[in-house]
Amino acid sequence: MPISRHFEIVYRLLHKRTITAGELARHFEVSTRTIYRDIDVLSAAGIPVYSSKGKGGGISLLEGYTFNTSLLTGREQDDVLMALQTLAVADYPGMDDVLGKFARLFKKDRPNWLEVDFSPWGTEESKQVVFPLLRKAIADRTVISFRYYNTAREESLRNVEPVQLIFKSQAWYLAGHCLASDASRLFKISRMKEIVSTEHIFEPRLAVPSIEAAEEQSARDMVEITLRISAEGAYRVYDEFAESMITAGEDGSFTVKASFAIGHWLDSYLLSFGTLLEGISPEFLRSRALAQLDAFRSRLESDPAGRPNNEQE
């Protein structure tokens, strides 16, 4: 990330008056040509940094130069630190170190106003590597390969050019270009398994911004449904639906109007309300729910003892 590298170059020069381009190149794992480009950027920004040749030469700041933190008010310094922490908690590469340096520069304690964990409660450690892996693949523009399980209960092997991580409707998605379908697609991350970053580098494509593509894809095959949920289901109503979708009844029940994609996921979602759900429309969804209940009852009745199949004689 060039901005953090530029800041660290200045930070290191403030504490060590002269550094060679080779030292900086090795530290940042870039070429010396990149370091000299960084020096040009800093000079253009008004920071008096220069390079000298010969024995004892290197990159230095003008003698007597100090970073004037008074250019920022105390509130502005706090805003900078808080903004950096939003990147640090998202595990952005190198940002934790940058945050610490700014805190020392401003002579302030590191803020702790925000904490984020991308993984669900109880997620095993192996799943916590998914976001760093995807983030790196997006930054490095490397194709990823994974097995995907869609709502039609189909499993497929996908090769995708990852573009963006999106949090939408209480779930994380990956937006990218699917090589099999040669089209932009949205993948729910919880259904992506055996994710591998390949060595294939891709060039960015000219496409609709991914959040717009996400809206378009999610809108396909959507049907407006109406649910009547008992008063005891208030916690789920307010957790899962926007205020504009909810109408409270005089008896305390709720009428919810929302759009959903028809599929097996919706069947399971509706049944998850259990006895909290008092009504469903349109009628075909009510019939589907009743058919699901009949199938569930039939399976349970086929094993009166309630034992798992591998325990039966």
pLDDT in tens for each of the 313 residues of the chain? 455 677 778 777 777 768 888 888 888 888 888 888 888 888 887 778 878 877 778 888 877 665 556 556 777 777 777 777 766 666 566 667 777 777 777 777 766 665 666 555 545 555 567 888 888 898 889 999 999 988 777 889 999 999 888 877 667 888 899 999 898 888 988 889 999 999 999 988 876 555 666 556 555 667 899 999 999 999 999 988 989 999 999 999 999 999 888 878 888 899 999 999 999 999 999 999 999 899 888 888 887 665 655 544 4
Nearest alpha-carbon partner for 103 in 127, 135, 78, 75: 78
The pLDDT, as a whole number, for residue 252 is: 93
The pLDDT, as a whole number, for residue 195 is: 94
CA atoms of 309 and 295, how far apart (whole Å): 17
194 close to 146: Cβ distance less than 8 angstroms: yes
The pLDDT, as a whole number, for residue 313 is: 43
For the beta sheet containing 277-281, the strands, ordered from the edge strand earlier in sequence to the opposite edge, are: 246-248, 254-261, 222-229, 277-281
| pTM of the predicted structure, to 2 decimals | 0.52
The pLDDT, as a whole number, for residue 123 is: 56
The pLDDT, as a whole number, for residue 277 is: 95
The pLDDT, as a whole number, for residue 1 is: 45
Nearest alpha-carbon partner for 224 in 281, 308, 301: 281
The pLDDT, as a whole number, for residue 128 is: 66
For the chain, give the DSSP string.
-HHHHHHHHHHHHHHSSEE-HHHHHHHHTS-HHHHHHHHHHHHHTT--EEEE-STT-EEEEPTT----GGGS-HHHHHHHHHHHHHHHHTT-TTHHHHHHHHHHHTT-PPP-------SPTT--GGGGGHHHHHHHHHHHTEEEEEEEE-TTS-EEEEEEEEEEEEEETTEEEEEEEETTTTEEEEEEGGGEEEEEEEEEE-PPPP-S-HHHHHHHHHHTTEEEEEEEE-GGGHHHHHHHS-GGGEEE-TTS-EEEEEEEE-SHHHHHHHHTTGGGEEEEESHHHHHHHHHHHHHHHHHHHT-TT---GGG--
Half-sphere exposure of 268 (CA within 13 A, CB side): 6
Phi-psi region at 274: left, alpha or beta (left = phi > 0; alpha = psi -120 to 50): left
The pLDDT, as a whole number, for residue 69 is: 61
The sign of the CA dihedral 50, 55, 56, 58 is positive
**Ordered domains of the chain (ranges, CATH):** 2-61 (1.10.10.10), 69-105 (no CATH), 126-208 (2.30.30.100), 222-301 (no CATH)
